[in-house]
Amino acid sequence: MIPTGPVRCILVGMGGVTREMLKTLAGFDWFAPVAVVDPRPEARDDARRDLGLPEDAAFPDLATAIAAIPADAAIVNTPSEYHFDLARLAIEAGLHPLVAKPITNDFAQAVSLADLAEARGVTLAVGQQMRYRNHYEAVADFVRDGRLGTPQAITFINTKPRPKALNLATMTQPALYEMSCHHFDCLMAIVPDARPEWISCDGFRPSWSPYAGPCMVNATIRFSGNLHILYQGGFSSLADSYELRIEGTGGVLRCRGVHMSRDGMTYEFAEPLGGWTPLDLEASRPPSDPWRTLLALWRRQLAGEIDPPFSGRNNLRPFALLSAGVQSVETGLPAILGPDTPYAAAWTEVPHA
């Protein structure tokens, strides 16, 4: 643990996500970058200069950086197929990894990383920052306040045009791993006491899509407590679409907007069998910086103060739902989540010393 003082960080992968994080990290006095890692010489040299690091603080791979530079943590923002090896390398070296979502592309690997981190006495965290957007925190507060009653049906639609596939062009499950991982985490933030029990998932690719894999997903999901979710997410709609509708025993909340990553949604509430009334759930909330919230909580995790929702162990829960969705797409059959399934470790209590 790192109770006080600076956190010496190795930054792995100097692409857009790291650059976005650095805008926020620069505002924390505990953030102490000590090295950058990227296989691209220009990318690592540009990052090194921007951070004011010496020439010998830029490396083509993490193993070399760990051997050369004393550090406390590794912030890993690379394509997800590299997450497992990089996180394991960091943990085995005694570093605390913060890994971009999804934590890996395989549920068993994710469990092994959580187990390894606990065995080595280091923390593991996953960059699931979207749950800290004003929109989701406002909706979660509304549900928690009780006016909606007990949620029993949710419709969640978030699709967008992304005609440049970039690094997702050949990914086997681009929508589930890149977008649904955030959606499922945010849904579980809104109804934290409900557990996913079953998912039936259809991944598909419209004829106009540049993706090789199923870039659009339709699913029905059953949670405990008689909660049922109708879900659509993906990258190849022809126009932006966002709607979150939560129907409970006390009424219905409807939220509409452009995308999950933009605040300023329109909100309406209807009493049972009644008409819609506008609400402004974000009126009293200051502008949000989801990365600032996540990184501040990460610092507290490093200090041993909290076990945040995005810890490696806790993140197994949305990742189990994602992985079951992948299973359903690949088999064409519903996937069950529960104690006698491959996803049981997501809800297994691990004893701590």
At 250, is the pLDDT very low, low, confident or very high (cuts 50, 70, 90)?
very high
119 & 78 share domain: yes
| Token couple for 196 | 């996913």
How far apart CA 289 and CA 305 sit, in angstroms, is 22
Domain span at 73: 7-129+290-312
Give the per-residue pLDDT at 350.
Answer: 54
Q: Averaged over 123-130, what is the pLDDT?
A: 97
183 & 48 share domain: no
Tally the domains of the chain: 2
69 & 138 share domain: no
165 & 265 share domain: yes
* Inside any domain, residue 342: no
* Inside any domain, residue 351: no
pLDDT digits (tens, 9 = 90+) for 180-218: 999 999 999 999 999 999 999 999 999 999 999 999 999
150 & 274 share domain: yes
Last-in-domain residue among 279, 301, 324: 279
Give the per-residue pLDDT at 305.
Answer: 97
Give the per-residue pLDDT at 167.
Answer: 81
* Inside any domain, residue 337: no
Q: Is 39 left (phi over 0), alpha (psi -120 to 50) or beta?
A: alpha
Distances (CA, A) of 98 to 18, 20, 240, 330, 333: 11, 15, 30, 29, 34
Q: Which of 72-81, 94-103, 253-262, 296-305 has the lowest mean pLDDT?
A: 253-262
Give the per-residue pLDDT at 352.
Answer: 44
Alpha-helical (H) ranges within the chain are 16-25, 41-51, 62-68, 83-92, 107-120, 134-145, 174-175, 181-190, 290-302, 316-331
Looking at residue 96, which CATH number applies to its domain? 3.40.50.720
Looking at residue 259, which CATH number applies to its domain? 3.30.360.10
22 & 112 share domain: yes
* Inside any domain, residue 1: no
* Inside any domain, residue 317: no
124 & 135 share domain: no
264 & 194 share domain: yes
| Token couple for 141 | 């507060």
Please give the model's pTM, rounded to 2 decimal places. 0.94
82 & 60 share domain: yes
Q: Averaged over 44-62, what is the pLDDT?
A: 96
196 & 211 share domain: yes
- Return the residue matching tokens 């979502």: 101
* Inside any domain, residue 339: no
DSSP string, 155-175: EEEEEEE----GGGTT-SSHH
Give the per-residue pLDDT at 146.
Answer: 96
121 & 34 share domain: yes
pLDDT digits (tens, 9 = 90+) for 303-351: 999 999 999 999 999 999 999 999 999 999 999 998 899 999 998 865 4
How far apart CA 193 and CA 31 sit, in angstroms, is 34
How far apart CA 96 and CA 73 sit, in angstroms, is 4
* Inside any domain, residue 334: no
179 & 217 share domain: yes
* Inside any domain, residue 341: no
